């Protein structure tokens, strides 16, 4: 009966798919500006409210970006944009799933660290050292955590796989780390963490991928094991 709409699913869902398809087919380039919400709604034959929901959905996915007063734009579709929601998983996960997430992180982090050992540039290595020293120079947990994150982030970026780095970023999101950290530091974890970080750094300097992989795996595995023990009690 109708010329375009096969009428499957909700109107909003259809709009989401159509815009996604436009980008997939290359009709919308990264960075490009879309028509106004009102025009888009007219083109697809739906109301502005429904169109806004579709846009909101694509926005949280990191595909679109809405700038108040300016317009709607396609993001650069980089790994960081699209994998931002990954952090939500970590935030809402609890119990056994936290261990699973840590297991995934251990696998990826060890690989990324190994790659970094082979590819890291002097500049990046200097950055790593900067965060390492800053981390050892203070006792403020908040600051330590901040440099801890930057330490691993720099290494992940040095691995040369932005997608992997973006996933690791999500897995190490602030609240995630902070929550695990809270009870972890009760024991002698501070000193141990410093030793592990130093070990990772030495492997990077030595450009030894296998040592780097082992050090990173042990580092994450340490937390993982502790958390696993916590769950058993």
For DNA, which is the closer residue by CB, 67 or 94? 67
The listed partner (DNA, a second copy, none) that binds 77, CB under 5 to 8 Å by sort, is: a second copy
Rg (CA), the chain: 22
Q: Which is nearer to DNA, 53 or 169 (CB)?
A: 53
Query: What angle in degrees, to the nearest 10, is found between the helix axes of 141-158 and 174-184?
Result: 130
Question: How distant, in Å, are the alpha carbons of 46, 147, 228 from that of 156?
Answer: 44, 14, 25
DSSP states of 46-102:
--HHHHHHHHHHHHHTTSEEEETTTEEEE----HHHHTTTHHHHHHH--THHHHHHH
Binding site for DNA (CB under 7 A): 10-13, 34, 36-38, 45-50, 52-53, 55, 66-72
In the complex, minimum distance from the CB of residue 4 to a second copy, in angstroms, rounded to a whole number: 22
The residues binding a second copy (CB under 8 A) are 12, 20, 23-24, 49, 52-53, 56-57, 59-61, 63, 77-79, 82-83, 85-86, 88-89, 91-93, 97, 100-101, 103-104, 107-108, 111, 161-164, 167
Q: Is 160 helix (H, G, I), strand (E, B) or coil?
A: coil
Could you tell me the smallest distance in angstroms from the CB atom of residue 181 to a second copy?
17
Q: Which does 23 bind (CB under 5 to 8 A by kind): a second copy, DNA, none?
A: a second copy
CB of 37 to a second copy, least distance (A): 12
Residue with smaller CB distance to DNA, 10 or 175: 10
Q: Per-residue b/e over 56-83, b at no fewer than 16 CB within 10 Å?
A: ebbeebbbbbeeeeeebbbbeeebebbb
Q: Which does 83 bind (CB under 5 to 8 A by kind): DNA, a second copy, none?
A: a second copy
Taking every pair of Cα atoms in the chain, the longest distance, rounded to a whole number of angstroms, is 72
């Amino acid at each position: 009966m109708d010329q375009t709409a096969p009428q499957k699913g909700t109107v909003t869902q259809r709009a989401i798919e159509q815009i996604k398809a436009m980008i997939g087919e290359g009709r919308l380039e990264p960075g490009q500006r879309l028509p106004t919400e009102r025009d888009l709604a007219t083109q697809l034959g739906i109301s502005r409210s429904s169109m806004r929901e579709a846009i909101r959905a694509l926005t949280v996915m990191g595909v679109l970006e809405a700038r108040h007063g300016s317009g709607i734009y396609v993001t650069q579709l980089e790994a960081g944009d699209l994998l931002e929601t990954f952090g939500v998983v970590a935030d809402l996960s609890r119990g056994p799933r936290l261990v699973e997430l840590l297991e995934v992180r251990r696998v990826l982090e060890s690989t990324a660290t190994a790659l970094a050992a082979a590819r890291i540039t002097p500049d990046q290595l200097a950055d790593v050292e900067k965060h390492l020293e800053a981390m050892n120079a203070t006792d403020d947990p908040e600051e330590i955590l901040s440099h801890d994150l930057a330490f691993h982030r720099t290494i992940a970026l040095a691995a040369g796989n932005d997608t992997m780095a973006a996933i690791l970023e999500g897995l190490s999101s602030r609240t995630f780390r902070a929550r695990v950290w809270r009870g972890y530091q009760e024991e002698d974890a501070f000193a141990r963490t410093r030793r592990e970080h130093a070990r990772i750094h030495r492997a990077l300097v030595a450009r030894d991928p296998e040592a780097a992989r082992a050090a990173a795996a042990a580092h994450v595995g340490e937390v993982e094991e502790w958390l696993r023990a916590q769950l058993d009690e």
